């Protein structure tokens, strides 16, 4: 079993859907004979944020191109004339989508879109951030948006000098500054820290609440999607083969069913295992051997424009140490100090450690095939052991024969994680492995990293902003605080409960538990639970 569909293999599903008696179930669109087919469309609603939750390659962009009137759906008729609006309207009469399609047909809908891969913006635009953004200022909201996302300091810089987190916020502003009826945001969160994610979510909500716009959001950070969306369409199927977009569900049920792996209305199992969260902080396991012990360290750049203070600590063998804190606070600097790539100003790091490092922005642009690239890193490449530990959980089989330069963001991320884990090292440093991975891939990558550390007497240090991923991944936490771009401070590593409390107290965010599934959900600021938990100092776990 591939683990995606159990009761119903995707290939059987295609056959069943294609049987003549299933004609009621024509796709919305099929790209060609035996090509990808999309079933169902999301239904954007005025004044609402509609979420789509599902894997990459499942037809989300196809759906949006249809809703944006960039592409006429063919209702599965790949030969002959396209069926035309009457047939399409007939198909959707009486559904949530009817109103929207009527407006679209009358030519009354304008659309603004934020692309998924913000890293590509510098290839498409030459000039400063301000020049790019001024073209988008259709509502007179630009300066307010720039200030609220905090990109003021970089507006006069050339676009190609911005970091991923800055580009992400520029792309968000460029989309939200437009005057459109329908906004489509393909992933808000990659490269943003939690504070920035919350701000992005708030801006999207405000456009729905205060301006009555329709917002459609694809998002894989479930804590943020939960906070943001009014309703959710789950997308399932088989990436690259077919995708089904369900009718809207309440956000809470949509996320719970997705995590549980079973869609209730559809009576459809979409995954063998359910994804579950522990309500109580894991007990700290017996202390293992120490891999690295570091003393108090300091490091500053330039004339002290940024300075970092690290309290001494130790990292244990076989553990996954989560690293949390805002962007620009010194997390990568610390990683480089450990890796011996930077010299501390004060203190000294044991330089005998072999460290494998996956940077935040993955640039592997050699003109080389994925298999050749990975084979150049490890002699274990292609052994059943390597396949089980690395290639299978990271689902590399489909990309092995592709060129590195042709990979999508999520594919490149998985190859980079594999490359890092394939090195023979004492310490594996992974900076934001969740970026551009869908929920399924995050969970698989998480267990690959965990298992790898356990089986190799190795240790992994994982920097990530997806709180669900950190929760699933880490044994202990290293918490950074301070003032981004000015000064950073790191405490010694602590247990999950203390670490989450310290980290979330800095952010002033508490989580409650979904009563049915135990899934952590962000509390409304100032709500009774929020106040009670802050008083008790319990920000995340319920013990
Ligand atoms: P998502 O946005 O969920 O990642 P897309 O809608 O971009 O998915 O693509 C879904 C599938 O449709 C992809 O596997 C892709 O191979 C296929 N596809 C997309 N555009 C075309 C096209 N113009 N012609 C043929 N196939 C396409
Ligand atoms: P994080 O990983 O937490 O995002 P970093 O360690 O990358 O933080 O950076 C911390 C601060 O140091 C940021 O303000 C960054 O701009 C600055 N910085 C990082 N590297 C350099 C460098 N080589 N020269 C000058 N400043 C730097």
Section 464-469 average pLDDT: 93
Q: Tell me how far apart the alpha carbons of residues 244 and 238 are, in angstroms, rounded to a whole number.
A: 9
pTM of the model: 0.90
Instruction: Name which residue leads in pLDDT, 91 or 491.
Output: 491
Whether the pLDDT of residue 82 is over 90: the answer is no
Whether the pLDDT of residue 399 is over 80: the answer is yes
pLDDT recorded at residue 200? 97
Cβ 301 under 6 angstroms from ligand 2: yes
pLDDT recorded at residue 15? 32
Residue with tokens 């990979």: 407
Judge contact between 219 and 188, C-beta under 8 A. yes
Whether the pLDDT of residue 286 is over 80: the answer is no
Whether the pLDDT of residue 312 is over 90: the answer is yes
Q: Point out the ligand nearest to the CA of residue 359.
A: 2
Section 517-535 average pLDDT: 94
Across all residues in the chain, what is the average pLDDT?
Answer: 89
Whether the pLDDT of residue 1 is over 90: the answer is no
Whether the pLDDT of residue 381 is over 50: the answer is yes
Taking phi over 0 as left and psi of -120 to 50 as alpha, with beta for the rest, 237 belongs to left
- Could you read off the pLDDT of 28-74 as tens digits, one per residue? 999 998 889 999 999 999 999 999 999 988 998 899 889 888 888 99
Task: Out of 27, 29, 59, 235, give the residue to mutate to test ligand 1, the one with the largest number of ligand atoms within 8 Å of its CB.
Answer: 59
pLDDT recorded at residue 285? 63
Cβ 302 under 6 angstroms from ligand 2: yes
Q: Whose C-alpha lies nearest to ligand 2, atom 27? A: 301
pLDDT recorded at residue 526? 94
pLDDT recorded at residue 380? 94
Band (7; pLDDT cuts 50, 70, 90): very low
CA dihedral sign, ordered 530, 532, 535, 539: negative
Phi, psi dihedrals of residue 182, rounded to the nearest 5°? -135, 120
Cβ 331 under 6 angstroms from ligand 2: yes
Cβ 485 under 6 angstroms from ligand 2: yes
Judge contact between 146 and 155, C-beta under 8 A. yes
pLDDT recorded at residue 17? 29
Section 296-313 average pLDDT: 94
Q: Point out the ligand nearest to the CA of residue 36.
A: 1
Judge contact between 263 and 254, C-beta under 8 A. no
Q: State in Å: Cα 250 to ligand 1 middle.
A: 27
Q: Point out the ligand nearest to the CA of residue 192.
A: 2
Whether the pLDDT of residue 306 is over 90: the answer is yes
pLDDT recorded at residue 23? 33
Closest CA to 502 of 476, 537, 533, 526: 537
Q: How many CB atoms lie within 10 A of CB 503?
A: 26
- Could you read off the pLDDT of 486-514 as tens digits, one per residue? 999 999 999 999 999 999 999 999 999 99
Q: Tell me how far apart the alpha carbons of residues 355 and 335 are, in angstroms, rounded to a whole number.
A: 10
The contacts of residue 166 (CB under 8 Å, 6+ apart) are 151, 154
Q: Tell me how far apart the alpha carbons of residues 318 and 307 are, in angstroms, rounded to a whole number.
A: 31
pLDDT recorded at residue 228? 96
pLDDT recorded at residue 343? 92
Give the H/E segment covering residue 197.
helix 194-211
pLDDT recorded at residue 430? 94
pLDDT recorded at residue 351? 65
- Could you read off the pLDDT of 179-214 as tens digits, one per residue? 999 999 999 999 999 999 999 999 999 999 999 999
Task: Out of 14, 27, 33, 36, give the residue to mutate to test ligand 1, the one with the largest number of ligand atoms within 8 Å of its CB.
Answer: 36
Whether the pLDDT of residue 5 is over 60: the answer is no
């Amino acid at each position: 079993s591939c683990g995606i569909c159990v009761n119903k293999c995707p290939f059987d599903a295609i056959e069943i859907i294609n049987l003549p008696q299933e004609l009621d179930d024509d796709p919305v669109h099929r790209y060609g004979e035996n090509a990808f087919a999309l079933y169902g469309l999301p239904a954007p609603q005025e004044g609402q944020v509609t979420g789509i939750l599902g894997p990459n390659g499942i037809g989300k962009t196809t759906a949006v191109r249809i809703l944006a009137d960039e592409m006429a759906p063919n209702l599965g008729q790949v030969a002959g004339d396209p069926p035309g609006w009457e047939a399409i309207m007939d198909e959707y009469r009486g559904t949530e989508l009817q109103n929207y399609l009527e407006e679209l047909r009358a030519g009354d809908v304008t659309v603004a879109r934020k692309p998924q891969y913000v890293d590509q913006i510098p290839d498409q635009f030459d000039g400063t951030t301000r020049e790019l953004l001024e073209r988008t200022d259709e509502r007179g909201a630009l300066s307010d948006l720039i200030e609220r996302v905090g990109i003021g300091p970089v507006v006069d810089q050339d676009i190609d000098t911005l970091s991923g987190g800055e580009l992400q916020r520029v792309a968000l502003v460029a989309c939200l500054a437009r005057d459109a009826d329908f906004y489509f945001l393909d992933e808000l969160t990659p490269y943003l820290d939690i504070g920035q994610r919350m701000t992005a979510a708030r801006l999207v909500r405000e456009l729905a609440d205060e301006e009555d716009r329709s917002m459609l959001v694809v998002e894989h950070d479930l804590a943020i999607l939960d906070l943001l969306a009014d309703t959710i369409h789950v997308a399932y199927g088989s990436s690259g083969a077919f995708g089904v977009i369900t009718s809207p569900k309440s956000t809470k049920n949509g996320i719970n069913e997705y995590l549980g792996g079973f869609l209730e209305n559809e009576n459809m199992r979409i995954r063998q295992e359910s994804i579950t969260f522990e309500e109580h902080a894991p007990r700290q396991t017996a202390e293992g051997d120490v891999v690295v012990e570091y003393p108090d360290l300091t490091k500053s750049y330039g004339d002290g424009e940024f300075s970092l203070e690290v309290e001494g600590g130790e990292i244990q063998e076989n553990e996954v140490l989560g690293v949390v804190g805002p962007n620009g606070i010194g997390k990568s600097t610390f990683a480089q100090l450990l890796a011996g790539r930077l010299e501390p100003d004060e203190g000294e790091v044991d330089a005998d450690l072999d460290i494998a490092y996956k940077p935040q922005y993955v640039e592997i642009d050699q003109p080389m095939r994925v298999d050749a690239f990975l084979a150049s890193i490890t002699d274990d490449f292609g052994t059943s052991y390597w396949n089980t530990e690395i290639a299978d959980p990271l689902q590399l089989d489909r990309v092995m024969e592709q060129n590195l330069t042709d990979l999508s963001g999520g594919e490149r991320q998985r190859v980079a994680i594999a490359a890092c884990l394939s090195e023979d090292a004492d310490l594996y440093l992974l900076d934001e492995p969740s970026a551009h991975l869908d929920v399924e891939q995050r969970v698989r990558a998480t267990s690959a990293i965990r298992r790898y550390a356990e089986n190799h007497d190795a240790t992994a240090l994982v920097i990530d902003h997806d709180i669900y991923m950190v929760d699933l991944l880490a044994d202990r936490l290293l918490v950074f605080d301070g003032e981004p771009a000015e000064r950073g401070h790191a405490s010694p590593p602590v247990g999950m409960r203390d670490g989450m409390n310290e980290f979330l107290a800095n952010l002033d965010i508490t989580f409650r538990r979904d009563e049915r599934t135990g899934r952590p959900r962000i509390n409304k600021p100032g709500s009774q639970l929020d106040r009670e938990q802050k008083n008790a100092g319990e920000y995340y776990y319920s013990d």
